[in-house]
Amino acid sequence: MTILNLKKKFKILPLLFVVACLNGTLVFAEVAKLTTAPDVPPAITRSKAETVVVNLTAEEYVGNLTKDVKYGFWSFGGTVPGPMARLRVGDSVEFHLSNAKGNTQPHNIDIHAVNGPGGGAAFTTVDPGEKKTFTFKAKAAGLYIYHCAAGSIVDHISNGMYGLVLVEPEGGLPKVDREYYVMESEFFASEPENGVASFDIQKGLDEHASHVVFNGKEGGLLGDNALKAKVGETVRIYFGNIGPNSISSFHIIGEVFDKVYNEGGFGGAIGKNIQTTLVPSAGATVVEFKVDAPGAYALVDHSIYRVAKGAIGHLVVEGKENPKVIRQGK
């Protein structure tokens, strides 16, 4: 019987597929929906843990770091940062990593949500044109970084191989109006050769970033890329900082974070009324806030000289003025 016929017979949802037939019993797995920043996968509605399949491909490509600078990126999924996955605590995750045939480097993945050797890197080093698979249990709820850990590691991270995985707690997270995926990263770009810049290891060793950006490029959260909201809505931002060297001082000018899930964990105390939150290199945080007045709110790394290197974005809020909250004059 074909999988199409099985779907018709058993009314399988589109996101499910057959993984095995054990002792005459069909076993199904959910395929994780991956999204590109700033989009976030939909909230998980199921009430119990399942087997979830995640498919990701390492891709090397040339793209714009700024409007004037092209860069030789290494990536997951052809974007920097890589796609975001959303799981539930207790899920068994079957992770498939492919390395595109045209790539020049072996790649792997270290997922900070994994308990085990190398966060999965020990099982996933894969040459161009090949594929590796490993399975892990998502034991702890939180927001986690993933990154490549192949070779000397520093070049794979510095060239763009990282992203976020969200592991929801049992019962999920409180509902909000908007959710966004934002990631800060440093680049150490050389002088361009044939119009394309590449990783300058000496700048990395000196910890002198040429660019510090949100969502993979200068202007990644500006203009048409700006985040959107309406007055009265509650916004949740899943924020990661890959570094690879510096701590981020994440701040939104004109907002106070109503809630901060410290260092991306869902099991501890929640910070309230926080102005700026520290996010370590290869760390993450989750912030929530209600927007009370219209206007453009700047997302920045408040280590403020980094704004000049690109660490600025906008949240554009539409709606009626709110003079009880803010107004000009008395």
What are 86-121's pLDDT values in tens digits?
Answer: 999 999 999 999 999 999 999 999 999 999 999 999
- The amino acid occupying position 37 is A
Both tokens assigned to 32: 């994780």
Q: Which of the four pLDDT bands, split at 50, 70 and 90, describes residue 300? A: very high
Q: How far from 67 is each of 113, 134, 217, 304, CA to CA, in Å? A: 35, 39, 9, 22
Q: Which of the four pLDDT bands, split at 50, 70 and 90, describes residue 29? A: confident
- Specify the DSSP element, H or E, that contains 6: helix 3-10
pLDDT > 60? residue 281: yes
Burial class (CB in 10 A: 0-12, 13-18, 19+), 113: buried
**Predicted pLDDT at 26:** 59
CATH number of 3-42+50-168: 2.60.40.420
pLDDT > 80? residue 75: yes
Name residue, tokens 């997302």: 299
Sign of CA dihedral 274, 276, 281, 282: positive
**Which residues of the chain form CATH 2.60.40.420?**
3-42+50-168, 178-318
Whole-prediction pTM:
0.93
**Predicted pLDDT at 14:** 44
Q: Which of the four pLDDT bands, split at 50, 70 and 90, describes residue 19? A: low
Q: How far from 285 is each of 183, 271, 277, 300, CA to CA, in Å? A: 10, 11, 8, 15
How high does pLDDT run on average in the chain? Answer: 93
pLDDT > 80? residue 179: yes
Q: For domain 178-318, is the CATH number 2.60.40.420?
A: yes
What would you report as the CA-atom Rg of the chain, rounded to the nearest whole angstrom?
A: 21
Contact of 52 with 92, CB cutoff 8 Å: yes
